[in-house]
Amino acid sequence: QVQLVQSGAEVKKPGASVKVSCKASGYTFTSYDINWVRQARGQGLEWMGWMNPSSGNTGYAQRFQGRVAMTTNTSISTAFLELSSLTSEDTAVYYCARLPLYSSNHYWGQGTQVTVSS
Amino acid sequence: QSLLTQTPSVSGTPGQRVTISCSGGSSNIGTNPVIWYQQLPGAAPTLLIYGNNQRPSGVPDRFSGSKSGTSASLAISGLQSEDEAFYYCAAWGDSLTGWVFGGGTKVTVL
């Protein structure tokens, strides 16, 4: 069965960077884009960007341009999200997700809590 | 600020029908299919409706989706206590905006 398993919770200081991983299994990793979505406590879902594991192409939400990087390691079927220059407003649960536009094959990771605190 | 507008909350008694609306624009809902997610506390969202009105296998037929122009709606008929959750609409925007989500609707079963 398809699974996206994310790395554990992180606590970072303001100004630092965080790198979250998302290991895929149960399907051909290079066949689907990986999206990253975050959710602050009590808030809605916010799309951060996508990456195509096959081509390496990426697309980032404008508000994260310049401080976000999405990468993959196809040899271990793992996607990575790196966010830099963290502030308290980046405290949220970060999800990786497979979100095909025209099918029901949507899968989400379990989420990774990132807390930014001095 | 969410690019799709949802009613913040709706409530109903068991067995009732409730409807959640989602309003967008020509570049998202007006162009692409609408997705609906259910999110329980502390859990990742799960797919409820895709392609405007298609239910994945395993989703009860009490849930139905529709779309007209730049708006969409999710109806829950025969409301049950386990339907108490947050519901989000979503649609692909364009290469600049990517996936856009509604702000979420809290459904309360009285």
**Three state DSSP letters for A31-46:** HCCEEEEEECCCCCCE
Report chain B residues whose CB lies below 8 A from the CB of A59: 95, 98
Query: For residues A15 and B3, which has the higher predicted lDDT (pLDDT)?
Result: A15
Give the Cα separation of B77 and B63 in Å (integer): 7
Do you know the residue count of chain A? 118
Averaged pLDDT score across all residues of chain B: 95
Q: What is the mean pLDDT of residues B97-102?
A: 93
- What contacts A113, CB < 8 A, 6 or more positions away? A9, A10, A92, A93, A94
CB A36 within 8 A of CB A97: yes
Q: Which pLDDT belongs to residue B96?
A: 77
Answer whether A37's CB lies under 8 Å from A48's CB.
Answer: yes
How would residue B72 be classed by pLDDT, with cut points 50, 70 and 90? very high
| Yes or no, beta carbons of A44 and B102 under 8 Å apart | yes
The Cα–Cα gap between A57 and A49 comes to 11
Q: Which of B99, B100, B101, B105 to mutate to test the interface with A (most CBs of A within 10 A)?
A: B99
Q: How far is CA B74 from CA A5, B7, B54, B84, in A?
A: 30, 11, 11, 14
Q: What is the mean pLDDT of residues A58-85?
A: 96
Res B24: pLDDT: 95
CB B6, CB B89: distance < 8 Å: yes
Q: What is the pLDDT of residues B25-66, one digit of tens each?
A: 999 999 999 999 999 999 999 999 999 999 999 999 999 999
Q: Which of A35, A47, A104 sits opposite B47 (nearest CB)?
A: A104
pLDDT in tens, A8-37: 999 999 999 999 999 999 999 999 999 999
Where does residue B69 rank: exposed (0-12), middle (13-18), buried (19+ CB within 10 A)? Answer: exposed
Query: Does residue B23 carry a pLDDT above 90?
Result: yes
Predicted confidence band of residue B1 (pLDDT cuts 50, 70, 90): low
Mean pLDDT of A75-102: 96
Quick one: pLDDT at residue B97?
Answer: 85
Q: Would strands B9-12 and B105-109 be described as parallel, antiparallel, or unpaired?
A: parallel
Cβ <8 Å between B104 and A101? no
Whether residue A104 and residue B2 make contact (CB cut-off 8 A), yes or no, is no
Two structure tokens written together for A78: 């793992």
Task: Supply φ then ψ for residue B73, to 5 degrees.
Answer: -150, 150
Tell me the average pLDDT across A82-102: 96
pLDDT at res. B2: 65
Asked whether residue A4 carries a pLDDT value surpassing 80, the answer given is yes
Q: Read off the pLDDT band of A106 (50, 70, 90).
A: very high
Contact with chain A for residue B33, Cβ under 8 A = yes
pLDDT of residue B95: 75
| B110, pLDDT greater than 90 | yes
C-alpha to C-alpha distance for B92 and B99, rounded to whole angstroms = 4
Measured CA to CA, the distance from residue B34 to residue B68 in angstroms comes to: 11
Inter-CA distances, A90 with A61, A64, B51, Å: 14, 11, 31
User: How far does the CA of residue B56 sit from the closest CA of chain A (Å)?
Assistant: 6
pLDDT of residue A41: 94
Burial of B110 (0-12, 13-18, 19+ CB in 10 A): exposed
Instruction: Tell me the C-alpha to C-alpha distance, in Å, between residue B19 and each of B11, B15, B73, B75, B107.
Output: 10, 13, 7, 4, 10
Q: Average pLDDT over chain A, rounded to whole?
A: 96
